[in-house]
Amino acid sequence: MKLGLAPLTLFRPPPLDLVRYAGEAGYDAVGFQLGLQDMPVSPLAGDAQFLKEAKALLERWNLSVMEVSNIVFEPERTFDEGRVLIDFAKQIGASIVQATVWDGEEDRVVERLAALADHAKDQDLGITIEYMPYSQCQGFNEAYRLVSACGRSNVHILLDTLHFSRSGGVLADLDREEANLYSFIQLCDARREAPAPEDLRYESVYDRLPLGEGALELGAILERVPTDLPVSLEMPCQRLKDLPLVDQAREHLRIAREFLAPYAHRWEMAADPVI
């Protein structure tokens, strides 16, 4: 099983540092996070020197790029802000362009999503929507409605095991035909009891658990999802946060490989991007 390191796991270090940590720790892939809610797209997305340095590091460590995030749907966002992330994803060789929704006007989101999906299609890429219970796209049903309304075959949904649980997902949901829209999985564990609604975001960004240290039904999830989904570790953890970042990355990978060993025989990265 090939595993990617998500930027959030190490509390978002600078992108080139993240590539180094992923390589030194032994990951197979890494993600680039260049867009966040309430912040402009990072100028690095259009920086030729950054692209050159990033490619050199990826080659040095034999890393692929799993995801570029996030296209952010907010009322004031423009098409060009999403386009530059899609173009960067194409140049860096990513397989996934991730999106989050903070705009409550669904028709506007659908219109913008469709336009960006068309541009992504021209780049042989897709867009994967991440639902989060504290965003304007709170669960799978809301994400599915957006995907259906925009009518583009290269728009998919991200399965984050924390958000799946905290949004009320149950294992039977993964047996629904609609679940074939999942195209990417981010793994973490979490405590059995969900925090108060106002604390869900904090848990997501700062206080997840390594695999096997919580109570999420990870094994049952892994037995149900297709074996060609790219797999990323996204688990910012308070227990490990005081370790040097590369040591955090190594420990997360060690724990994950041990936990995932019983499932590795049926799992492999998709050979081609999901578009």
Q: What is the CATH number of the domain that holds 139?
A: 3.20.20.150
Q: Is 274 a member of any domain?
A: no
Q: Is 65 a member of any domain?
A: yes
- Between β-strands 127-129 and 231-233, what pairing exists: parallel, antiparallel or unpaired? unpaired
Q: Is 273 a member of any domain?
A: no
Query: Quick one: pLDDT at residue 274?
Result: 39
Residue 211 binned pLDDT confidence (cut-offs 50, 70, 90): very high
Burial letters for 24-46: b for 16+ Cβ neighbours within 10 Å, e otherwise? Answer: ebebbbbbbbbbeeeeebbebbe
Q: pLDDT (tens digit, 9 = 90+) per residue, 67-88?
A: 999 999 999 999 999 999 999 9
Number of domains in the chain: 1
Q: Which DSSP state fits 180?
A: G
Q: Which DSSP state fits 143?
A: H
Q: pLDDT (tens digit, 9 = 90+) per residue, 4-41?
A: 999 999 999 999 999 999 999 999 999 999 999 999 99
Residue 126 binned pLDDT confidence (cut-offs 50, 70, 90): very high
Provide DSSP, 31-81: EEE---TTSPPPGGGG-HHHHHHHHHHHHHHT-EEEEEEEEEE-TT--HHH
Query: Quick one: pLDDT at residue 18?
Result: 98
Q: Is 137 a member of any domain?
A: yes
pTM: 0.94
Q: Which residues contact 227 (CB under 8 A, 6 or more apart)?
A: 266, 267, 268
Q: Which DSSP state fits 205?
A: H
* Measured CA distances, 80 to 84, 124, 169 (Å): 6, 18, 34
Q: pLDDT (tens digit, 9 = 90+) per residue, 214-269?
A: 999 999 999 999 888 999 999 999 999 999 999 999 999 999 999 999 987 776 54
Query: Quick one: pLDDT at residue 52?
Result: 98
Q: What percent of the chain is modeled with pLDDT above 90?
A: 93
Q: Is 79 a member of any domain?
A: yes
The residue range of the domain holding 151 is 4-266
Q: Is 119 a member of any domain?
A: yes
Q: Is 275 a member of any domain?
A: no
Query: Quick one: pLDDT at residue 268?
Result: 55
Q: Is 272 a member of any domain?
A: no
Q: pLDDT (tens digit, 9 = 90+) per residue, 165-196?
A: 999 999 999 999 999 999 999 999 999 999 99
Query: Quick one: pLDDT at residue 253?
Result: 97
Dihedral through CA 159, CA 160, CA 165, CA 170, nearest 10? 20
